[in-house]
């Protein structure tokens, strides 16, 4: 099966999801070509197991994110079944590549089987859809849902110079209010909800986060009512996250919040209400007040 | 594209003193793509291998579409122009268009397609792109993704088909009469980007919630005509469906977790996270 993986880059290197995309392609029996938009980390991509060739597409257009320009520059390198990451950039570029080629796109797949049969959550995880595609198509894959390929490969790297007209100009960069890890990038997230009483109490969650290298998230209620940054919001109108560990503190577990975090690998819930819906999705539930549980968590983690 | 911008000179008064200002007579047409989805609080049940739409207790705007519509209303208020609300789907979607009219959408377009849910992304985008072109809009606002499929293909896909720029995850858009400035996230935080029509803005959570309609708006909306466009009216060959939906199913039940009482159990849970789950 002819297959192309569009690599996800992060600064000057390859984003870890790229090895997961290759792993998924391999599970379908493909030895994919990996296209690296902008060329950052192309050598690293060549070391992923199961890659037939890396095409590093370099051009001026890759200095600004413009999905139209990026798709124009890389589309001719993408053939067969095209696989990208279901990240903000991956989804957008993949959509334009699909539209340019006139082939369907299926976003946010969590499982693939030969055929190709694609499984994806719909209605924010309240149902699951399986569909079959027989021709060429574009599929984006959810982060952490597929096993990553190893890193003992040694594929060749072809550099292609190809740019395209940019139609988006950056006028002003506004830096982040904090240097904290973003919830969509983190492997561990500790989130707070209305149950922690007030905005200032997030400092206690930040202290826990600092011990274990976690990001700090929030429920919609506190983002709206306490003016926390929207970038912290986990849930249906915020971010959908799939970390290895999600710790929910003082979050009751509204259906919209669950939609954003229920596919985390392990979920710990701390809530004083034993009937809170969050316990329905928790692997480890602790019925306790946050005032008692968070300091205990801090000391237990420090003692590790 | 019918895209005209005329700037008229006028006089404004500040503290009784006339100052020079501009009055924009902007004939910009903004298309807002709206999707009706089960309300985010609604239960989803599966019947016969498909999500049972008859069991959905409440249908609403997809949440990000509301931010797009509100931002379009604000852009119209500051820069002039006209808003065309476009939706595609079965007859129930007319309610959505009335709701959009009640807060200020000028023209309502219903792309009538009963089997819309079975269309693949190419077919959906071909329909919407044809409707956008028929509406003469040069600026398109939509949500970053719909709350049913959560895909996010439509904005960039339609942009590709009509040869437009696309800015996604937008929280704010303004116009200086010529081009547009949009705020979007960047790796460093946020950035303001400049872009010209034709362009698509796909909204993340915006700066303000969608306004509530007033009584006058609701009354006006009841009388507003809805233009119904069929696939035939749009004169577009949407092509064959390339994706066959095999089935819908409820999410896999998670095995019940372990529950502990009191803060003294925290250290037990932390040990389990290390030894059982291997995540810390």
Using CB atoms and an 8 Å cut-off, which of residues 39-78 of chain B contact chain A?
Answer: 40-41, 43-44, 46, 51, 63-64
- Whether residues A150 and A236 fall in one domain: no
CA–CA separation, A5 and A80 (whole Å): 10
* Euclidean distance between CA atoms A230 and B204, whole angstroms: 10
Q: Which has the higher per-residue pLDDT, B5 or B74?
A: B74
Contact at 8 Å (CB) between B66 and B39?
A: no
Distance between B188 CA and the closest CA of chain A, angstroms = 5
pLDDT at B12: 37
Closest alpha carbon to A119 in A24, A187, A34, A186: A24
Q: Within A121-240, where are the H helices? A: 202-212, 220-226
Min distance B40 CA to chain A CA atoms (Å) = 7
The pLDDT assigned to B17 comes to: 39
In a domain, A33, yes or no: yes
Q: How big is the CA angle at A81 (ends B144 and A7), to the nearest 5 degrees?
A: 65
In a domain, A29, yes or no: yes
**Inter-chain residue contact B191 with A123, CB threshold 8 Å:** no
Domain coverage including residue A203? 188-302
Quick check: is A79 in a domain? yes
Q: Do B156 and A67 touch (CB under 8 A)?
A: yes
Structural domain B5-234, CATH architecture:
3-Layer(aba) Sandwich (3.40)
What's the pLDDT score for residue B108? Answer: 98
Span B106-137, pLDDT tens digits: 999 999 987 888 899 999 999 999 999 999 99
Is A82 part of the contact surface with chain B (CB cutoff 8 Å)?
no
**In CATH, what number is assigned to the domain containing residue A287?**
3.40.50.1220
Is residue A142 in some structural domain? Answer: yes
A277 against B6, higher pLDDT: A277
pLDDT for the residue numbered B246: 96
> What is the 8-class DSSP label of residue A180?
P
Each domain of chain B, given as residue ranges in start order, spans 5-234
Tally Cβ neighbours within 10 Å of residue B25: 14
Domain match, A202 and A148 both: no
Interface contact B251-A127, CB threshold 8 A: yes
Please tell me if residue B118 touches chain A, with a CB cutoff of 8 Å.
Answer: no
CA dihedral A263, A269, A273, A276 (to 10 degrees): 0
Do residues A217 and A148 share a domain? no
Which CATH number fits the domain that encloses residue A134?
3.40.50.620
Residue ranges of chain A whose pLDDT lies below 50: none
For residue A174, tell me if it sits in a domain: no
For position B189, what pLDDT does the model report? 87
Instruction: Name the residue in chain B with its Cα closest to that of A283.
Output: B257
Q: How confident is the model at residue B59 (pLDDT cuts 50, 70, 90)?
A: very high
Tokens representing A221?
């209620």
Using pLDDT thresholds of 50, 70 and 90, give the confidence band for residue B92: very high
Whether A183 maps to a domain, the answer reads no
The answer, yes or no, to whether residue B22 has pLDDT greater than 50, is no
Say what the ipTM of the complex is.
0.89
pLDDT at residue B195 is higher than 80 = yes
Question: Each residue of B135-177: pLDDT tens digit?
Answer: 999 999 999 999 999 999 999 999 999 999 999 999 999 998 7
CA distance, residue A54 to nearest chain B CA (Å): 25
- Flag if B263 and A296 touch (Cβ within 8 Å): yes
Q: Is residue A115 in some structural domain?
A: yes
| A150 & A247 share domain | no
Q: What is the 3-state secondary structure (H, E, C) of chain B?
A: CCCCEEEEEEEEEECCEEEEEEEEEECCEEEEEECEEECCCCCCCEECCEECHHHCCCEEECHHHHHHHHHHHHHHHHHCCEEEEEEEECHHHHHHHHHHHHHCCCEEEEEECCCHHHCCHHHHHHHHHHHHHHCCCCEEEEECCCCCCCCCCHHHHHHHHHCCEEEEEECEEEECCCCEEEEEEECCEEEEEEECCCEEEEECCCCCCCCCCCHHHHHHHHHCCEEEECHHHHCCCCCCCCEEEEEEECCCCCCCCEEEECHHHHHHHHHHHHHCCCCC
Return the residue matching tokens 């890659």: A51
Nearest chain B alpha carbon to A238:
B205
Do A150 and A29 share a structural domain? yes
Q: Are residues A156 and A214 in the same domain?
A: no
Residues A156 and A194 in one domain: no
- Report in angstroms the alpha-carbon separations of B42 from A72, A90, A122, A204: 40, 30, 14, 34
Q: Distance from A230 to chain B by nearest Cα, in Å?
A: 8
Query: Any chain A CB within 8 A of the CB of B181?
Result: yes
Q: How far is B37 from chain A (nearest CA, A)?
A: 9
pLDDT recorded at residue B166:
98
pLDDT at residue number B8: 32
Cβ–Cβ gap B280/A188 under 8 Å:
yes
The residue in chain B having the minimum alpha-carbon distance to the alpha carbon of residue A92 is B156
pLDDT at B249 over 80: yes
Who among A130, A169, A244 is closest to B247 (CB)?
Answer: A130
Residues A88 and A144 grouped into a single domain:
yes
What pLDDT score was predicted for residue B188?
A: 83
- Given an 8 Å threshold on Cβ–Cβ distance, is A99 in contact with B279? no
Same domain, A24 and A65: yes
pLDDT band at B26 (very low <50, low <70, confident <90, very high): low
* Domain count within chain A: 2
- Comparing CB atoms, the residue among A128, A132, A245 nearest residue B248 is A128
């Amino acid at each position: 099966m002819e297959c192309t993986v569009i690599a996800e880059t992060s600064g000057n290197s390859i984003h870890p999801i790229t090895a997961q995309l290759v792993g998924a392609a391999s599970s379908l029996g493909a030895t994919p070509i990996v296209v690296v938009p902008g060329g950052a980390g192309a050598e690293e991509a060549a070391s992923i197991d199961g890659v037939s060739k890396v095409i590093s597409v370099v051009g001026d257009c890759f200095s600004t994110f413009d999905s139209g320009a990026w798709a124009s520059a890389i589309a001719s390198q993408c053939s067969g079944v095209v696989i990208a990451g279901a990240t903000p950039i991956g989804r957008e570029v993949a959509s334009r590549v699909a539209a340019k080629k006139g082939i369907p796109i299926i976003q946010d797949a969590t499982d693939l089987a030969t055929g190709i049969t694609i499984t994806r959550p719909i209605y924010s995880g309240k149902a699951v859809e399986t569909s079959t595609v027989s021709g060429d198509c574009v599929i984006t894959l959810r982060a952490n849902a597929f096993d990553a390929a190893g890193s003992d490969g040694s594929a060749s790297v072809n550099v292609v110079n190809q740019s395209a007209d940019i139609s988006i100009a950056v006028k002003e960069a506004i830096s982040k209010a904090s240097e904290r890890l973003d919830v969509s990038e983190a492997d561990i997230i500790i989130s707070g909800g209305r149950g922690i009483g007030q905005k200032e109490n997030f400092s206690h969650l930040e202290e826990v986060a600092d011990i274990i290298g976690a990001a700090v998230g929030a429920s919609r209620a506190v983002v709206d009512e306490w003016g926390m940054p929207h970038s912290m919001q986990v849930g249906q109108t915020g971010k959908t996250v799939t970390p290895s560990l999600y710790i929910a503190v003082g979050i009751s577990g509204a259906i919209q919040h669950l939609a954003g975090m229920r596919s985390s690998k392990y979920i710990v819930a701390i809530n004083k209400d034993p009937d809170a819906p969050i316990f329905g999705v928790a692997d480890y539930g602790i019925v306790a007040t946050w005032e008692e549980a968070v300091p205990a968590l801090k000391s237990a983690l420090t003692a590790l | 594209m019918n895209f005209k911008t005329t700037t008229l000179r006028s006089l404004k008064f500040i503290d009784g003193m006339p100052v020079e200002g501009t009055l924009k007579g902007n004939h910009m047409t903004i298309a807002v793509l709206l999707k009706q989805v089960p309300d985010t609080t609604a239960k989803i049940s599966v019947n016969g291998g498909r999500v049972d739409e008859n069991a959905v207790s409440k249908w609403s705007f997809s949440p990000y579409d509301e931010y797009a519509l509100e931002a379009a209303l604000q852009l119209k208020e500051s820069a002039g122009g006209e808003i065309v609300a476009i939706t595609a789907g079965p007859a129930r979607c007319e309610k959505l268009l009335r709701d959009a009219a009640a807060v200020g959408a000028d023209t309502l377009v219903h792309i009538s397609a009963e089997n819309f849910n079975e269309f693949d992304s190419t077919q959906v985008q071909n329909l919407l792109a044809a409707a956008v072109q028929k509406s003469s809009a040069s600026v398109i606002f939509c949500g970053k993704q719909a709350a049913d499929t959560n895909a996010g293909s439509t904005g960039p896909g339609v942009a590709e088909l009509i040869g437009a720029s696309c800015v996604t995850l937008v929280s704010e858009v303004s116009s200086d009469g010529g081009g547009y400035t949009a705020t979007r996230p960047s790796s460093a935080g946020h950035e303001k980007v400049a872009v010209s029509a034709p362009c698509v803005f796909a909204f993340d959570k915006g700066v303000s919630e969608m306004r509530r309609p007033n009584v006058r708006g609701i009354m006006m909306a009841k009388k507003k005509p809805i233009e119904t466009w069929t696939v035939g009216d749009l004169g577009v060959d949407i092509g064959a469906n390339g994706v066959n939906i095999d089935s819908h199913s409820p999410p896999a039940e998670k095995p019940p977790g372990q529950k502990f009482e009191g803060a003294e159990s925290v250290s037990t849970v932390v040990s389990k996270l290390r030894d059982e789950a291997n995540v810390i």
